[in-house]
């Protein structure tokens, strides 16, 4: 139907094996995502897109290690290895991703002082990316989310999609997670409780 869109989250080299913030099996989802793209009416991609020295990088906080937490003016923030630096090979979409059909690429995380997991809002939870307005103006009210990582950018995007009034499905078989301190379990529960439809066609 014409009111549905597939949103492919951060299927970039740095989140795939060999990348700077590799998600286990991140590249395995590419064939299935391509299949979903082929069948979708509308396709939107997100691209994690950080300037060098971004505040979410552990390297920007002397003495801090990746995968630890830090207090930012907008709340707690996980620190990451340097990744998805604007224009780097790591920031490119996976070379096997059939992205040409995408009608929109939303870049996020480009403000030096704020990280952005969600496709809709930065991590201050108030700065919008413009995606909700774009989708509404296009008459799209139903979303399927796939990509990386299940428990960070996919989950935050799905929770915001629900709060913005979109009927939202996450295809878990077309996602892979980071799973930091139980984050996968936590975020699966949060999504289910919020009304996100969690589908896993591997289990069908
Ligand atoms: C992501 C951590 C940092 C993601 C992006 O795409 O899930 N995770 N930047
Ligand atoms: Zn990032």
Regarding the beta carbon of 184 and ligand 1, being less than 6 Å apart is answered no
pLDDT of residue 119: 98
For residue 199, pLDDT over 90 is answered with yes
Per-residue pLDDT at 148 exceeds 90: yes
For ligand 1, whether the C-beta of 187 sits within 6 Å is: no
pTM beyond 0.90: yes
Q: How far is the CA of 59 from the centre of ligand 2 (A)?
A: 13
Q: Is 151 noted as a catalytic residue in this protein?
A: no
Is 10 an active-site residue? yes
> Contact, 42 vs 140, CB < 8 A?
yes
| End-to-end Cα distance, the chain | 23
Average pLDDT over all residues of the chain: 97
Instruction: From the candidates 16, 27, 108, 115, give the one annotated as an active-site residue.
Output: 108
Look up the CATH superfamily of 4-199.
Isochorismatase-like (3.40.50.850)
Q: Is residue 149 lining ligand 1, measured as CB closer than 6 Å?
A: yes
Quick one: pLDDT at residue 145?
99
Q: How confident is the model at residue 169 (pLDDT cuts 50, 70, 90)?
A: very high
State yes or no: pLDDT of 203 exceeds 80.
Answer: no
Return the domain boundaries, the chain.
Answer: 4-199
- Most ligand 1 atoms within 8 A of CB, residue of 60, 117, 118, 178 to mutate: 117
DSSP code per residue over 114-166: ----SSSB-TTS-SB-SHHHHHHHTT--EEEEEEE-IIIIIHHHHHHHHHTT-
Of the pLDDT bands very low, low, confident and very high (cuts 50, 70, 90), residue 2 is low
Residue 120 to residue 46: CA distance in whole angstroms: 10
pLDDT tens column, 88-102:
999 999 999 999 999
Atom of ligand 1 at shortest range from CA of 10:
6
pLDDT at 72 over 60: yes
């Amino acid at each position: 139907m014409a009111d549905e869109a597939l949103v492919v989250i951060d299927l970039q080299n740095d989140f795939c094996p060999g990348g700077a913030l590799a998600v286990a099996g991140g590249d395995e989802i590419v064939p299935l995502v391509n299949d979903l793209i082929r069948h979708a009416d509308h396709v939107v991609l997100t691209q994690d897109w950080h300037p060098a020295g971004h505040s979410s990088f552990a390297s920007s906080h002397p003495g801090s290690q990746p995968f630890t937490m830090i207090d930012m003016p907008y709340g707690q923030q996980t620190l990451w290895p340097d990744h998805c630096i604007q224009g780097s090979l790591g920031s490119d979409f996976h070379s096997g991703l059939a992205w040409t059909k995408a009608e929109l690429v939303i870049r996020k995380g480009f403000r030096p002082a704020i990280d952005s997991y969600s496709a809709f809002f930065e991590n201050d939870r108030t700065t919008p990316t413009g995606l909700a307005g774009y989708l509404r103006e296009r008459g799209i009210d139903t979303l399927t989310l796939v990509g990386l990582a299940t428990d960070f950018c996919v989950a935050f995007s799905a929770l915001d999609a629900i709060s913005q009034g979109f009927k939202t499905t996450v295809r878990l078989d077309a996602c892979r997670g980071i799973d930091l301190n139980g984050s996968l379990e936590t975020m699966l529960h949060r999504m289910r409780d919020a009304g996100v439809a969690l589908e896993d066609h591997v289990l069908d």
